[in-house]
Amino acid sequence: MPDDTSAGASPKPDQSAGSQQMREVEIKLSGPAGLLRKVFTLAPFAGVRAGRGRAFETTYFDTPDGALGRAGMALRTRRIGARRLITLKWTVAGESGLFSRGEQEAPLESDDLRLAALGVAAQEMIEAATRGAALAPCSATRFTRRVAMVESEGARIEVALDRGEIIVGDRTAPISELELELKSGPPAALYGFAASLVDEGLRIAPAPKGLRGRWLATGEQPREVRVTLPDFSPDEPLDDVIGAVIEANVAAFVANWPALSPDCPEAVHQMRVALRRLRAALALFHRAMPHDGFQRLRAEAKRIASALGPARDQDVLQTLVEEGPVAALGRDASFDALLAASAARREKAYADARALIEAPATSRFVLDAYAFSAARGWRPAAPDDGERIAASAFAERALDRLDKRARKRGKGLVDLAPEERHEARIALKNLRYGADFFAPLFEGGRAAKKFLRTIAALQDALGAYNDSIVARQIVADLEAQAGPGVARAGGAVAGWTARGAVDADERLADAWKAFRKAPRFWR
């Protein structure tokens, strides 16, 4: 698993003596301490014998401002008995970075950091990320590792149980996790084996040791992560685009797990955005190549996103009340009562969201999505003539269809009934996501960016209307719960959101006109 979610450049293979470059595919799992202690007795390890524990000591290096971490890179030295190793890991360009990354490793003669051992290409990567800034130890780990080798579905998998601690000065954090690394065979088999362990009660651990060490060293709290898609080439095969889009959105969903808390409301929002984008993509692909796999993933993404909805709704309401009517009218007992009732509901909603993320079914969904992508599970539904479908041709047809639907749904937009407005909003959102997915396949990036800005402005105007309806529904529920003491505040919120919806409607006609006139970059 990467030590960050940013993409880094991939170096060319280095031929330096002793240096070895590879592409690592690895999954980290965590779970209750009692379960991890006896993990090698679980059913998936039947007939497998784990080795004795070995001591590992690792030091991670970065610049004082964390330049390597921001670039999606992790640099470390490691001591294993008498052996010394230096390792650089990075997110591979064009991949999501959730379970796959590049790795360059070389032996060392001492504990000193000697970058030359990694070779010229790795040194150039480090130099580009740090801009020549000095590297220094930022965190360390000490743990005991037990290893077992597993054969599953044609794959050879190294399973390592790590137990110990992360160390930064006098501060520590526990290490208790299982690492599954693909040594040979199909990646889908690795995801399948990990899923069998999830079924036993383990779950995906989204934050690797290096990243946790950086948080411990800096006091930095996990923050939200936005979806980042790779830059496709115009001649990209459709299979590769489908896989990349699925993995990028699922990766962003998982990358936000550590930040899920009321202190970072953007995290739950970005999780829902990633799942909405995923659902839109799966619907697009299913239409062209009908397959139950797309539908199963889409249904599960909807279930998870819906369960995260209450936390997001309470975040939106709190911000709206505090930055709207409270800021304009002043805070009184009625607003205090409304916000207190909202805070209590928000706290429960976040507890439910955390339980959802920690549930085995959520980790199973992530692993199923990656397995489906790795195996190109949709291929039986695609043409069987052996030719690879061009993604650009598919994208042009798909965007034309989405554009036609959005224009149809939005006809007479200002005068549409609420249900019809909602349909128009969904159609526009699907078009926006599709345009974002496929924009790199077409020349003229500036035109694509302008189109996306135009459709985003139209969505914002429609969103204000939708937010006003949702806010009034939540306030009505809170009034029923908290009693008449919140009535005055509830009325103020209703009036405030209604005024906001009217203001948005005044912009809506112009936004719709700009959208209709905007050049379609894919034609």
- Work out the burial of residue 497: count CB atoms within 10 Å of its CB; fewer than 13 is exposed, 13-18 middle, 19 or more buried: buried
Question: Is the domain of 311 the same as that of 197?
Answer: no
Question: Is the domain of 209 the same as that of 264?
Answer: no
Sites in the chain below the pLDDT cut of 70: 1-21, 93-96, 381-388
Reduced to 3 states, what is the DSSP secondary structure of residue 49? coil
Question: Is the domain of 72 the same as that of 189?
Answer: yes
CATH of residue 195's domain is 2.40.320.10
Question: Is the domain of 200 the same as that of 278?
Answer: no
Q: How far apart are CA 258 and CA 171, in angstroms?
A: 19
Instruction: Identify the pLDDT of residue 293.
Output: 95
Instruction: Identify the pLDDT of residue 56.
Output: 96
Last residue of a domain, one of 200, 220, 240: 220
Amino acid letter, 468:
S
Number of domains in the chain: 2
Last residue of a domain, one of 220, 239, 274: 220
Question: Is the domain of 294 the same as that of 166?
Answer: no
Q: Which two tokens stand for residue 443?
A: 């020349």
Question: Residues 6 or more apart from 204 whose CB is under 8 A from it?
Answer: 27, 28, 29, 30, 194, 198, 254, 363, 366, 367
Residue 237 lies in a domain: no
Instruction: Identify the pLDDT of residue 407.
Output: 94
Query: Contact at 8 Å (CB) between 106 and 247?
Result: no
Q: How far apart are CA 164 and CA 162, in angstroms?
A: 7
Residue 11 lies in a domain: no
Residue 54 lies in a domain: yes
Question: Is the domain of 207 the same as that of 267?
Answer: no
Task: Summarize pLDDT for 349-369 with one digit per residue, the tens.
Answer: 999 999 999 999 999 999 999
Instruction: Identify the pLDDT of residue 435.
Output: 94
Question: Is the domain of 291 the same as that of 347?
Answer: yes
Question: Is the domain of 209 the same as that of 265?
Answer: no
Residue 229 lies in a domain: no
Q: Which two tokens stand for residue 205?
A: 């651990």
Residue 173 lies in a domain: yes
Question: HEC profile for 429-462?
Answer: HHHHHHHHHHHHHCCCHHHHHHHHHHHHHHHHHH
Question: Is the domain of 335 the same as that of 378?
Answer: yes
Question: Is the domain of 206 the same as that of 252?
Answer: no
* Other C-beta atoms lying within 10 Å of the C-beta of residue 154: 10
Residue 348 structural domain: 248-517
Last residue of a domain, one of 202, 220, 238: 220
Instruction: Identify the pLDDT of residue 388.
Output: 62
Cα 518-249-265 angle, rounded to 5 deg: 90
Task: Summarize pLDDT for 74-86 with one digit per residue, the tens.
Answer: 999 999 999 999 9
Residue 316 lies in a domain: yes
Residue whose tokens read 């006139």: 517
Residue 7 lies in a domain: no
CATH of residue 463's domain is 1.40.20.10
Question: Is the domain of 391 the same as that of 492?
Answer: yes
Question: Is the domain of 269 the same as that of 200?
Answer: no
